[in-house]
A = this chain, B = another copy of it.
Amino acid sequence: MARRAAGEHRLTGDRVNGSLEEPVRQRLLAEATRLFAQRGFESTSVQEIVAAAGVTKGAMYHYFDSKDDLLHEIYARVLRLQMERLNRFADAQGPVADRLHGAAMDVVVTTVDNLDDSKIFFRSMHQLAPETYKNVRAERRRYHERFRDLVVEGQRDGVFRGDIPAEMVVDFFFGSVHHLGTWYHPDGPLNGQEVGRHFADLLLNSLRP
């Protein structure tokens, strides 16, 4: 890892001392994200990334250990962001149905706002080094479990039907979410909010007892 321990990943736009920090690093991450989403990880060369970011290879290898490391940083950023947002909804007050509806809508809106991240996520996951792959899956599992707990809570309270495994409901719903990258287009008839509302409605309705 290049001069940055795990967990230190920064989001684009983070500021330190009031000025944009490490603009080269951020530009590399941004262009890599765009290109990986467009062409796939294996079909994007380091040369293309650095050219898009307006630097040379040396610069990239100064900030990242490898091309794999670049991908890993993208995953880390996405995972952290999604978990943060889910926690905010799950920890809120109010009926579980409302909290689940809110979380479901939010994940759709966030996904639509970062469609490139979403495209990369499942398409390129298998390219990660085994170790990294395991970490990402584990983190992803924790995310699913947090979401599943909301379903379980609703089933226990009797507001959701209990004859379908909560685990499967989560997989069912996130399948739909992850697939947004395949069909959703920002210029289409629906914006993220609208798709989010529909998806959340479908989820809640499917759980009606």
Residues in A lying within 8 Å of B, measured CB to CB: 39-43, 122-123, 126-127, 161, 164-165, 168-169, 171-180, 182-183, 190, 195, 198-199, 201-203, 205-208
Note all chain B residues with C-beta closer than 8 A to A126.
39-40, 43, 123
In Å, the complex CA distance between A31 and B190 comes to 41
* Interface class of chain A by DSSP: helix
Note all chain B residues with C-beta closer than 8 A to A164.
198, 201-202
Name 9 extra pairs, CB < 8 A, besides A168-B190, A205-B207.
A41-B42, A43-B127, A123-B123, A168-B195, A175-B175, A175-B176, A179-B179, A202-B206, A208-B208
25 contacts between A and B (CB under 8 A): A39-B126, A40-B42, A40-B126, A40-B127, A43-B126, A43-B127, A122-B122, A122-B182, A123-B123, A164-B198, A164-B201, A168-B195, A168-B198, A171-B179, A175-B175, A175-B178, A175-B180, A175-B182, A176-B176, A176-B179, A178-B179, A179-B179, A202-B206, A203-B206, A206-B206
